Amino acid sequence: MARYWPVLSASALMLAIMWIASQSFDPFVFPPLPAIAAAFWKIITTQYDEVAVTLLRYLVAFAMAIFCGWLVGLLMGAFRQTFGRFMQAFISIVQAVPALAWILFAVLWMQSVEARIGFVTFIIAFPFFVIAVYEGVRDMDRDILEAIEQFRPNRMQTLRILLLPQSVTHLIIAMRSTAAMTLKLMVLAEVLAANNGIGRAMATAQSNFSIDALFAWAFLLVLLNFVLIRIISQIEKRALRWRAEAVVR
């Protein structure tokens, strides 16, 4: 129980603020908590397909961004002076384009909703993985590299024994910092460029003035974020269990 007190107390504070707000404003501005709870129940019992669509889109696009980011980051590390330098400049330009601009481009360029949302999600997450893996390879401990090179490995062995495990570390750390942000931007993309999914359902709730449903969807997104972070933390815990934890006393 002691482990959960920060989450429980923060949740209690949030509910208290919402309750005070619901008492202070009209229901169409801030609905009462029971109305939000009822809307939430309706979502999970009747609109779960919208949630499933969003999650599926997210998983596919995010997995592709991880895989492609890993591959490109490794190639950048292997050919640092040529491909590495070129891609670094290229990725900086891609990252400088606002997410909203990518969403609008996707609407203009692509007819398929899945392609649009997939593209936007991919283009947002991909650069983070590329840079994380590239920096992981670049920051490889020279002493360890030298210690392994004394055994005269070939390039593939160096890649398998040293670079892949090193890059996985950076990949997982990037996953943790990117996952929640990507999900939020993907839902925004659904608001503007999809005909189903959580984002579309939120847009519909907003145009129907269903403020309780809007709150319920937001609450669901908060829950999904927590679950996502929890899953990634578990992956991190298992995959990076060799790392010593530093404790500040």
Partner 1 sequence: MTGSNTIVDFDTVHHAFGDNIAIERFNFKIHRGERVAILGRTGAGKSTILNLLVGNFAPTSGTVRIDGIDPFVQHKSLRGVIGMAYQAPRLLPWRTAVQNVAVGQEIAGVAKEKREANARLWLDKMHLEDAYDLVPSQLSGGMRQRVSLARAFAIDPALVLLDESFSALDEVTARVLREDFIKVAEEESKTAMIVTHNIEEAFQMAHRVILLGRPARILAEYHTANEPKVGTTEFTVLREQIRDLMLSPEGGISAYD
Provide the CA 173 distance to its chain's centre, in angstroms.
Answer: 12
Half-sphere exposure of 26 (CA within 13 A, CB side): 2
Considering the rule CB under 8 A, would residue 169 count as an interface residue with partner 1? Answer: yes
Choosing from 2, 4, 24, 152, the residue that interacts with partner 1 (CB under 8 A) is 152
Residue 34 engages partner 1 in binding (rule: CB under 8 A) = no
Tally: H helices and E strands in the chain: 11, 0
What is the spatial distance between Cα 61 and Cα 117, in angstroms, rounded to a whole number?
A: 8
Q: Look up tokens 């919402």; give the residue.
A: 18
Q: Which is nearer to partner 1, 169 or 206 (CB)?
A: 169
In whole angstroms, what is the distance from residue 31 CA to residue 25 CA?
Answer: 8
**Nearest distance, CB of residue 173 and partner 1, angstroms:** 14
Q: Single out the segment in contact with partner 1 by CB under 8 A; choices: 25-33, 56-64, 125-133, 150-158.
A: 150-158
Q: For residue 49, what are the contacts with CB-CB under 8 A and spacing of at least 6?
A: 196
Stretch that binds partner 1, among 28-36, 47-55, 128-136, 161-169 (CB under 8 A): 161-169
Specify whether the CB–CB gap between 200 and 208 falls below 8 A. no
Q: To 10 degrees, the CA torsion angle through 153, 159, 165, 169?
A: 140
With CB under 8 A as the rule, give the number of residues binding partner 1.
20
- Residues 129, 166: Cα–Cα separation, whole Å: 13
In the region spanning residues 107 to 146, those forming contacts with partner 1, defined by CB under 8 A, are: 141, 143-144, 146
| Contacting range for partner 1; rule: CB under 8 A; set: 63-71, 157-165, 174-182, 207-215 | 157-165
User: Interacting stretch for partner 1, rule CB under 8 A, among 29-37, 106-114, 149-157, 172-180?
Assistant: 149-157
**Closest to partner 1 by CB, 46 or 150:** 150
Binding to partner 1 by residue 242, rule CB under 8 A? yes
Q: CB of residue 76 vs partner 1: minimum separation in angstroms? A: 22
Residue 155 found at the interface with partner 1 (CB under 8 A):
no
Which amino acid does the sequence have at 54?
T
Residues in touch with partner 1 (CB under 8 A): 141, 143-144, 146-148, 150-153, 157, 161-162, 165, 169, 240-244
